[in-house]
């Protein structure tokens, strides 16, 4: 299987993760013109599952290093399988809430708040699980990210675009989503041998097998979580499965593409974790709010018409995010 052998390459993979995690929401925005996010989310989870299997049978099976996917999946201990599946369940609950927040408050608001909270709490959780990297640089970077989140929150409060009630609900959903999201990565990481991907310990998973199990947890839990949201939506009228099957092939493909984009970023994060450490790999990927905010500000014009003070806050957010991520990168090199 393919294994990352150097820290610089691991950082590059994490940057791809950041770009993917910050960009998949564009497909939701595209689909939202004719498609409720509850329906979009089914295609998103299907895309994630398909991509995980494709990666497992290609990158996860070619070459002589490590165990191939089929060899690995049958030897994983039941508790490790359960840990990766549980990671998928936790992620799905958080991501459904984040998707709802995007539909109510916009990408430039929902992502920095929700994913920013997930970054801060997730780094702490993952560092406790596997301390790797200089803690001073790492947590100083996290503090700068917290300040970036505060700037975004103030900017959102001063932005007059959109309904106040919907935006308030969106902010609350983003906070809950961020808290939940901070825990999923640790459960998946616990299923893998992060100290040796070349010769992983017996009963432990390679990143490719862990990601397939994680994606299965997302898809299976979707039958519970998304069905509930379809029947009791956060906004609008209930939607039915009949509505899903009325969607055009193009609409379904947009959602599947969104799932594949997110899945590519997540797989790269897991592959990079062996060299960079779970805390650093997770933290770098969670620079996604900066990418999402860029899309929201410059492409979707979610802050169009805002005053200069709001724009200064957004600039401050971007600067703090970049500085924070830079320190996180340095922490893993020490």
Note the pLDDT tens digit of each residue in 25-34.
899 889 988 8
- Which residue has better confidence, 283 or 162? 283
pLDDT (tens digit per residue) in 54-87: 999 999 998 877 899 999 999 999 999 999 999 9
Mean pLDDT of 275-301: 80
Percent pLDDT > 70 in the chain is 95
Tens-place pLDDT, residues 138-167: 899 888 988 887 887 778 767 655 444 557
**pLDDT class of 292 with cuts at 50, 70, 90:** confident
pLDDT of residue 284: 80
Which pLDDT band holds residue 205 (cuts at 50, 70, 90)?
A: very high
Top mean pLDDT of 80-84, 126-130, 171-175 is at 80-84
Q: Where are the domains of the chain?
A: 7-332
Distance spanning both ends of the chain, measured CA to CA: 28
pLDDT at 114 over 60: yes
Query: Any idea which of 85-99, 164-178, 269-283 has the lowest mean pLDDT?
Result: 164-178
Does the pLDDT of residue 266 top 50, yes or no? yes
Note the pLDDT of residue 164.
45
Alpha-carbon radius of gyration of the chain? 19
pLDDT, mean of residues 228-241: 92
Q: Which residue has the higher pLDDT, 199 or 256?
A: 256
* pLDDT for the residue numbered 73: 96
Identify the band that residue 265 occupies on the pLDDT scale cut at 50, 70 and 90.
Answer: very high
* pLDDT number for residue 127: 87
Provide mean pLDDT across the span 185-207: 91
The mean predicted confidence, pLDDT, of the chain is 88
> Looking at residues 163-186, what average pLDDT do you find?
81
Q: Band the pLDDT of 283: cuts 50, 70, 90.
A: confident
pLDDT of residue 325: 81
């Amino acid at each position: 299987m393919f294994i990352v052998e150097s820290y610089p390459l691991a950082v590059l993979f994490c940057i791809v993760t950041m770009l993917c995690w910050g960009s998949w929401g564009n497909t939701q925005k595209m689909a939202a013109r004719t498609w409720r996010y509850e329906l979009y989310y089914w295609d998103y989870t299907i895309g994630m599952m398909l991509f995980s299997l494709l990666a497992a049978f290609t990158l996860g099976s070619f070459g002589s290093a490590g165990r191939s996917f089929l060899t690995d999946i049958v030897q994983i201990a039941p508790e490790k399988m359960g840990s990766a599946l549980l990671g998928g369940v936790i992620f799905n609950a958080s991501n459904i809430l984040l998707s709802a927040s995007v539909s109510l408050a916009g990408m430039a608001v929902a992502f920095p708040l929700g994913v920013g909270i997930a970054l801060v709490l997730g780094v702490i959780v993952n560092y406790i699980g596997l301390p790797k990297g200089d803690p001073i640089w790492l947590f100083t970077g996290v503090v700068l990210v917290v300040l970036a989140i505060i700037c975004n929150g103030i900017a959102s409060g001063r932005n007059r675009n959109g309904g106040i009630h919907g935006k308030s609900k969106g902010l609350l959903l983003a906070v809950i989503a961020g808290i939940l999201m901070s825990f999923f990565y640790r459960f998946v990481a616990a299923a893998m041998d992060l100290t040796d991907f070349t010769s992983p310990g017996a009963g432990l998973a390679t990143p490719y097998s862990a990601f397939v199990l994680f994606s299965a947890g997302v898809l299976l839990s979707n039958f519970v979580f998304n069905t509930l949201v379809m029947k009791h939506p956060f906004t609008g009228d209930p939607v039915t499965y009949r509505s899903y099957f009325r969607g055009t092939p193009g609409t379904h493909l947009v959602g599947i593409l969104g799932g594949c984009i997110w899945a590519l970023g997540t797989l790269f994060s897991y592959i990079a974790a062996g060299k960079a450490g779970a805390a650093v790999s997770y933290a770098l990927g969670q620079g996604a709010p900066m990418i999402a905010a860029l899309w929201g500000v410059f492409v979707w014009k979610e802050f169009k018409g805002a005053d200069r003070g709001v724009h200064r806050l957004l600039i401050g957010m971007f600067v703090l995010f970049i500085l924070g991520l830079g320190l996180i990168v340095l922490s893993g090199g020490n």
